[in-house]
Amino acid sequence: MNSTTPPNHQAEEAIDAINKKTGRNMPQAIGTAVVLIVLILACLLISPTLFALLVVIFMILGLWELRVDFAVRNLNIPIGTLWVCSTVSLCTVYLAPNHVVAMGACALGTLVLVGIMASLQISLNGRAGKALAAKTLTSPSAVPSDDTPTHSRLTHVAVSMFTVLYIQVLASCIIIPLTFHGHPVSHAIMIVFIPALSDTGGLFAGAWLGRHKLCPGISPKKSVEGLLGSILFAMAGAYAVFACTYDQAIWATRWWVPAVAGVMIGVVGTFGDLCASMIKRDLGIKDMGHLLKGHGGVLDRVDSILLAAPFTCVLLWMTGL
């Protein structure tokens, strides 16, 4: 009798080992990533306006996730007001003649309206209540409903204003690069795909080579080797985008920009992941949501993209690309 392990069983063991080390279901994560890549590229190739609409949809889903996540700690944000104001804001930023001024004015108006609505402390509706119950069941460290803390009115306002800055303002920085220097597709790829590529590089480098913990108190799986992998993958991706987008005359004077972009996105994107991990740790949840198989929620996928967006936007604008 052959005592060797069947090949399919060996493959399953190898996948289980990778899943355990990365902290996610890798086959599901790869499949979801492929679907997202196809969806985003299709929107970009059809029209930058369609891509901007996709950003709005993802923002709405992300706001809903935060609504449920904060409710785990009995923190309520005015989701209806956030949906309306943030949608109007992103559309205004995209269409207005002066995009930066529009972003600032919309952010200020949203902060005022959201602050007023948050002070009313409107309770959860039925659908949010069901989502909260599911979140509590799937997050072992979440606070049970009977033990949820109470908060002052000011705390609800502060959390709601943080949501505006974290979601609406940073999402506006994804929209603005579509509007300058006539390269909306390449700018969108830089904003969205390079941080995602950086995450992938960090994931694989950390899984195979990770030995030195980067910040174990916040994210035990982050490693220094993973950070270096993030930077290298982001740099390689930035050079690939630049090679396919700009002519040799621009390369002669701006050959250094992809290197700067790679280092910046790798570092800032990793910091964005750590910030999201810190929020989840404070809330006592594992994932922001469950919409993206293998990735958790929408915010679990875009946390590094959001934080890297303003830095990438400024770099592209200042270098004239």
144, pLDDT greater than 90: no
pLDDT at 268 over 70: yes
What distance in Å separates the CA atoms of residue 132 and residue 52, rounded to the nearest whole number?
30
Q: What is the pLDDT of residues 150-178, one digit of tens each?
A: 888 899 999 999 999 999 999 999 999 99
pLDDT > 90 in the chain, percent: 47
Tell me what the pLDDT averaged over the chain comes to. Answer: 84
DSSP 8-class letter at 223 = E
Q: What tokens were used for 269? A: 């994107």
- What distance in Å separates the CA atoms of residue 202 and residue 220, rounded to the nearest whole number? 14
Using DSSP's 3-state secondary structure scheme, residue 60 falls into helix
Average pLDDT over residues 98-116: 96
Q: Rg of the chain over CA atoms, in angstroms?
A: 21
Mean pLDDT of 235-242: 93
Both tokens of residue 119? Answer: 């002070």
> Measured in whole angstroms, how far is the alpha carbon of residue 148 from the centre of its chain?
27
| Contact yes or no for 114/256 (Cβ under 8 A) | no
pTM of the predicted protein model: 0.84
Q: Which residue has the higher pLDDT, 175 or 140?
A: 175
Helix axis angle for 26-46 and 184-209, nearest 10°, is 170
Closest by alpha carbon to 152, among 115, 110, 116, 119? 119
Which pLDDT tens digit goes with each residue over 53-78?
999 999 999 999 999 999 988 899 99
Residue with tokens 């967006």: 309
- Alpha-carbon distances, residue 112 vs 109, 115, 158, 165, 218 (angstroms): 5, 5, 12, 12, 32
Of residues 193 and 291, which shows the higher confidence score?
193
Q: What is the pLDDT of residue 124?
A: 54
| One-letter identity of residue 299 | L
Given a contact cutoff of 8 angstroms between Cβ atoms, the answer to whether 315 and 264 are in contact is yes
- Identify the top-confidence range among 19-23, 79-83, 199-203: 79-83
* Residue 136 pLDDT > 50: yes
CA distance 285 to 289: 9
Give 275-291 as a DSSP string: HHHHHHHHHT-S-S-SS
3 state SS of 9: helix
Q: Which residue has the tokens 């390449």?
A: 186
For the chain, where are the E strands, in sequence order? 213-215, 219-223
- Quickly tell me which residue has 């997202």 as its tokens: 36
CA atoms within 13 A on the CB side of 28: 13
**Whole-angstrom distance, CA of residue 192 vs CA of residue 265:** 11
pLDDT above 70 as % of the chain: 80
Stretch 270-274: mean pLDDT, rounded? 88
Quick one: pLDDT at residue 265? 95
Please write the tens of the pLDDT for every residue from 188-232.
999 999 999 998 888 888 878 878 888 877 887 788 888 999 999
Q: Given this model, what pLDDT does residue 148 score?
A: 60
The structural domains of the chain, with segments of one domain joined by +, span: 31-318
Tokens standing for residue 274 = 């750590």
The predicted structure's pLDDT at residue 303: 87
Going by pLDDT thresholds of 50, 70 and 90, the confidence category of residue 1 is very low
In this prediction, residue 231 carries a pLDDT of 94
Q: Are 312 and 319 contacting, i.e. CB atoms less than 8 angstroms apart?
A: no
Of 5-14, 246-255, 284-293, the one with minimum mean pLDDT is 5-14
Residue in the block written with tokens 């795909």: 193
Render 140-206 in DSSP notation, one character per residue. Answer: TTSPPGGGPPP--HHHHHHHHHHHIIIIIIHHHHHHGGGGSTT-HHHHHHHHHHHHHHHHHHHHHHH
The residue to which tokens 């790798």 are assigned: 266
Confidence at residue 290, expressed as pLDDT on a 0 to 100 scale: 72
What mean pLDDT comes out for the span 135-156? 66
